[in-house]
Amino acid sequence: MATLKDFRNNIKPNWCPGCGDFSIQAAIQRAAANVGLEPEQLAVVSGIGCSGRISGYINAYGLHGVHGRSLPIAQGLKMANRELTVVAAGGDGDGFAIGMGHTVHAIRRNINITYIVMDNQIYGLTKGQTSPRSAEGFKTKSTPSGSIESALSPLEMALAAGATFVAQSFSSNLKQLTTLIEEGMKHEGFSFINVFSPCVTFNKVNTYEWFKENIVDLEETTDYDSSNRVMAMTKIMETHGLLTGLIYQNKQKQSYENLVAGFKQEALAKQNIKMTEAEFEKLVAEFK
C-alpha cells in the first residue's frame, strides 16, 4: 500500500516561503495515501497561477492546463477513465474569474471529481492585483484607491449552483484539510473545497493571523447538520463565508457518470474500440 512518501517527487516547489499552497500539496498527498490510492490511480490537473504548479509537485499523473480550464480537462479525464481519482486544483482567479463559467457548470453537472481552490484573495503570480475574492476597499496595484466591487462568495455560489459537496478549510489546519480532501475523494459526485491559502508576499490584509482571528470552525459548532442545505446557506451568510469544515453534503444525488445511459463501468481507456469493416461501413452509410 502506498504511503505519503510515494506521492512525493524530487521537484522542489518554487512558491514563496510561507505560502499556504505548501500545506495544500501536503494535504492532497496525505489524503491520497489515507484513502488507499497508488500514485498511478491519482491524476492532478491544474490551471495557471502560483497554484497551477501543484500538478508537477505530486508523484501522480499530472497536467498543467491553461488559465481557467482545469475543470474541462479534469472532467474529460474522468469520463475517459472513471477508475482514476481526479483532483482539479487552481487559485481564486483561475476558478472564479476566467474559469467561472466552467466552475458553475462543473458543479451542476456533478461529475465525480474533487476541485480544490487555493483562495488567497489576490493575483499572486502577476505581482499583486485585485481578484474576484478581494474585499471591497482592497488596495492593490490595479485598485490603488481601493476596490469598488463586492467580493464573490464561492460557498454561496456553489450551493446555489447545486453542489453536492461543499467544504472550506484553512491551510494552517493540515489535519482538517486532509480529512476534507479524503471525504471529497470518497464522495460520489463533484466535491468543491475552497481553502484559505494566504499570500505572504502581496496580501498583507488576509494574513494567517487575520484568518485565525476571524474563522468560525464548524467542528466547534453544536447542532449543525451538514445535510441541511438551508442551514448551510444560513451559516455561510451569518459568518460572511469565514467558516471551515464540511458545510454541505448530499449523498442522495447520483453522479453524472451513473446517470449517463449505457456508460460502462469499465474505463474507456481499457475498452476495445476497434471497429470491424461491417461496423465501419454501417457508420459511414449514415452520412450518405
Strands 122-123 and 129-130: antiparallel
Q: Which three cell numbers stand for residue 235?
A: 451559516
Q: Give the pLDDT confidence score for residue 158 in this predicted structure.
A: 98
Judge whether 195 and 20 are in contact, CB under 8 Å.
yes
- Residue ranges of domains in the chain: 4-285
pLDDT for residue 251: 97
Contact 131, 97 (CB under 8 A): yes
The C-alpha cell at 197 is: 491559502
pLDDT at 49: 87
What is the pTM assigned to this prediction?
0.94
Query: Cα–Cα distance between 63 and 60 in angstroms, integer?
Result: 10
Using a 10 angstrom Cβ sphere, with 0-12 exposed, 13-18 middle and 19 or more buried, the burial of residue 247 is: buried
pLDDT at res. 276 = 92
Q: Which three cell numbers stand for residue 57?
A: 509537485
143, three cell numbers = 485598485
Assign 3-class secondary structure to 134-178. CCCCCCCCCCCCCCCCCCCCHHHHHHHCCCCEEEEEECCCHHHHH
CB atoms within 10 A of CB 228: 12
Q: Give the residue carrying C-alpha cell 464561492.
A: 154
Q: Which CATH fold would you assign to the domain 4-285?
A: Rossmann fold (3.40.50)
pLDDT in tens, the chain (288 residues): 899 999 999 999 999 999 999 999 999 999 999 999 999 999 999 998 899 999 999 999 999 998 889 999 999 999 999 999 999 999 999 999 999 999 999 999 999 999 999 999 999 888 899 999 999 999 999 999 999 999 999 999 999 999 999 999 999 999 999 999 999 999 999 999 999 999 999 999 999 999 999 999 998 888 999 999 999 999 999 999 999 999 999 999 999 999 999 888 888 778 888 889 999 999 999 998
